[in-house]
Amino acid sequence: MEILVDFPGGLKVDAHFDGFTLSSDQPVNSGGDNSAPAPYMLFVASIGNCAGFYVLSFCRKHELSTDGIRVVERVSMNHATHMAEAIEIEIQVPESFPAKYYDALIRAADLCKVKQSIAAPPAFKTFTKVVG
């Protein structure tokens, strides 16, 4: 997989992959235009988004309605490092949702590849290359 990153202006950064463009910017108080989420917020939001996908997939597999189901992600930030120090994923279900599936729903959300990538991080290598 390859992702091409470019800089469309200001503090905006775009990542291009698989025919998509994922845009980011910085808040106004950091010198940006606040025209898109900051990269770190995209990362943090991807955790809840991913958990939500696995909850949705579980419900579809078991022919359970997703009406009234929500995933709420709560992030506790370390104010010194400005990084997450705890993340809580709450799966809200309506009263009509069968209680026998509660634990299975949690196990499904825990399959999230973003969460698993944090738990077992990949190796990183950053380098420069002269082109042209």
Q: Per residue in 68-122, pLDDT tens?
A: 999 999 999 999 998 999 999 999 999 999 999 999 999 999 999 999 999 999 9
Average pLDDT, the chain: 97
Task: Establish if 75 belongs to a structural domain.
Answer: yes
Specify whether 15 is located in the same domain as 1.
yes
Residue pair 80/111 in contact by the 8 Å Cβ criterion: no
Question: Which of 100, 110, 18 lies closest to 57, judged by CA?
Answer: 110
| Structure confidence at residue 125 (pLDDT) | 96
The enclosing domain of 44 has a CATH number of 3.30.300.20
Specify whether 68 is located in the same domain as 27.
no
Specify whether 31 is located in the same domain as 49.
no
Print the domain residue range for 4.
1-36
Specify whether 13 is located in the same domain as 55.
no
Q: What gap in Å lies between CA 85 and CA 82, rounded to an integer?
A: 9
* 62 DSSP assignment: T
Specify whether 7 is located in the same domain as 52.
no
Task: Establish if 125 belongs to a structural domain.
Answer: no
The sign of the torsion formed by the CA atoms of 51, 54, 59, 65 equals positive
% the chain with pLDDT above 70: 100
| Structure confidence at residue 28 (pLDDT) | 97
Task: Establish if 100 belongs to a structural domain.
Answer: yes
